[in-house]
Amino acid sequence: MCAYRMPRDLDIAHSRSRCGRCGFTIAWYDNIPLVSCALLMAKCRKCASPFSWSHLVVEFLVGCMAVAFFSAYGLTFFSFYYFFVACSLLLLSLIDLEFKIIPDELSIGGLVIGLTVALLFHVAHYPWTVDFFQSVLGASLGGGAFWFVGWAYEKITGKEGMGFGDVKLLAMMGAHVGPQGVLVIIFISSLIGSVSGLVLMAGQKIKSRTPIPFGPFLCIAFAMVAFGKNYIMKLCKICIPFLV
């Protein structure tokens, strides 16, 4: 719902879900995650207009993330917080894929939340993934690095090569993982993006200058670093020791 309404500037808090074709208001029993979509075969109950099966996929992914985080951390602040961050990553990836934009509510909002949480746990002397100073440094390095790359590319080629939304997104990620994690995110996302671009070009899905949303690659890399930090850092220590 958020992925559909946010980029279209539609209300996400009060308006009921409706069929995009006939305008029929969807009842609560037709809006149960996974169950309703499967029972109705992803169609409107009134006009039988088909809905996208992406609803079912997204609902399944969100459910899996909830199970994973609550199984790992129990009913704690961290399980709720990590689940919130993961849902934000999924949301902005869906929006970036369709509209090639990254809403400030997610990037800047996540940056403020990341810095605030790091500060609160730093003051409370609670073991957090990064302390407040590392959080600030990570945000500055992440945003600054991507801004410089985009600025240099535009100066050299005369064309925009990196959207400012990606700059703000990486700053948000830096606030959560610190400077070391940001460097690894840049490396992994660039690697995944390059391989994906080559595969798409080989299959003649895109041309060499076709713009590709980079947000989803950043989100994949961030999830790998933030939620699989120990394994990723061990691998990076072997492959790219100058980053760790």
Tokens of 126: 């609670």
- Count other Cβ atoms within 10 Å, centred on residue 191: 12
Q: CA dist 19 to 4, 59, 125, 170, Å?
A: 13, 18, 50, 36
Report phi then psi at 40, rounded to 5.
-90, 0
The band of 152, judged by pLDDT with boundaries at 50, 70 and 90, is confident
Domain ranges in the chain? 100-244
Report phi then psi at 22, rounded to 5.
-100, -10
- The Cα–Cα gap between 147 and 166 comes to 9
Q: CA dist 163 to 24, 100, 140, 189, Å?
A: 38, 9, 17, 15
- 110 pLDDT higher than 90: yes
pLDDT of residue 114: 92
181 and 133 Cβ atoms separated by less than 8 Å: no
Question: Among 29-43, 145-159, 167-181, which is the least confidently predicted range?
Answer: 145-159
**Predicted TM-score (pTM) of this structure:** 0.81
pLDDT in tens, 176-226: 999 988 988 998 998 998 898 888 878 767 776 677 888 999 999 998 888
pLDDT of residue 175: 93
- What type of residue is 124? A
- The Cα–Cα gap between 82 and 116 comes to 15
